[in-house]
Amino acid sequence: MLNINKKKIAVSIFFTAFAFGLNIVGISPVLGIVNEKYQQYGTSAIQLLQTIQYLLIMIGSLMIGWLTTKISKKKIVLIGLAIIGICGLMPFFSDSFWVLVASRVLIGFGFGITGPMNTAIAAELIPEEERAGYMGLHVVGMGIGTMAGSMLGGTLAGFSYRNYYLVYLIPFIAMVGVQALLVETPPTKTEKASDMKLNKMVYLISFASFAHTLFINAYSTNIGIYIAENISNNPGLAGMVTSVNAAFALGTGMIFSKISAVLKNFTLPFSILTAAVGYGLVLTVHGMAGVLIVSALCGVSLSCFMATGSYLLSISVEQEAVAKASGLFSIIGGIGGLIAPIFMGNAARIVLGENTAVNQFVIAFFGMLSFGVIAAVIMMKKKENK
Mean pLDDT score, 329-352: 88
Which of the four pLDDT bands, split at 50, 70 and 90, describes residue 196? low
Lowest mean pLDDT of 141-155, 210-224, 301-315, name the range: 141-155
Highest mean pLDDT among 152-156, 333-337, 347-351: 347-351
Question: What length is written for the chain?
Answer: 386
Q: What is the mean pLDDT of residues 214-239?
A: 80
What contacts 315, CB < 8 A, 6 or more positions away? 128, 131
Q: What is the pLDDT of residues 92-129, one digit of tens each?
A: 999 899 999 999 999 999 998 998 888 888 888 888 77
Instruction: Tell me the per-residue pLDDT of 23-37, one tens digit each, with 9 for 90 and over.
Output: 878 887 787 788 888
Q: What is the pLDDT of residue 4?
A: 67
The answer to whether residues 333 and 213 touch, using CB atoms and an 8 Å cutoff, is: yes
Scanning the chain, the segments in alpha helix (DSSP H) are 6-25, 31-37, 43-51, 54-62, 64-67, 73-89, 97-114, 117-125, 131-157, 170-181, 200-230, 235-254, 256-263, 267-284, 288-316, 322-352, 357-385
Query: Model pTM greater than 0.75?
Result: no
Of residues 257 and 10, more confidence is placed in 10
Would the pLDDT of 297 be above 90? yes
Q: Is the pLDDT of residue 332 over 60?
A: yes
User: Which carries the bigger pLDDT value, residue 167 or residue 158?
Assistant: 167
pLDDT value of residue 191? 46
Residue 54 sits at the vertex; the CA angle it makes with 30 and 75, to the nearest 5 degrees, is 105
From 325, 311, 105, select the one nearest 198 (Cα to Cα).
325
- The model's confidence at residue 195, banded by pLDDT at 50, 70 and 90, is low
Please state, in angstroms and rounded to a whole number, the distance separating the CA atoms of residues 221 and 228: 12
Q: pLDDT (tens digit, 9 = 90+) per residue, 44-96?
A: 788 788 778 888 888 888 888 788 888 989 999 999 999 999 999 999 999 89
Q: Which DSSP category does 343 fall into? A: H
Mean pLDDT value of segment 251-269 = 86
CA-angle at 123, arms to 117 and 124, nearest 5°: 90
Region of 26 please: left (phi>0), alpha (psi -120 to 50) or beta: left
Identify the top-confidence range among 224-228, 237-241, 284-288: 284-288
By the 8 A CB rule, do 253 and 303 touch? yes
- Predicted confidence at residue 190, as pLDDT, reads 59
User: 166 versus 134: which is more confidently predicted?
Assistant: 166
The residue with greater pLDDT, 84 or 378, is 84
Instruction: Count CB-CB contacts under 10 A for residue 302.
Output: 28
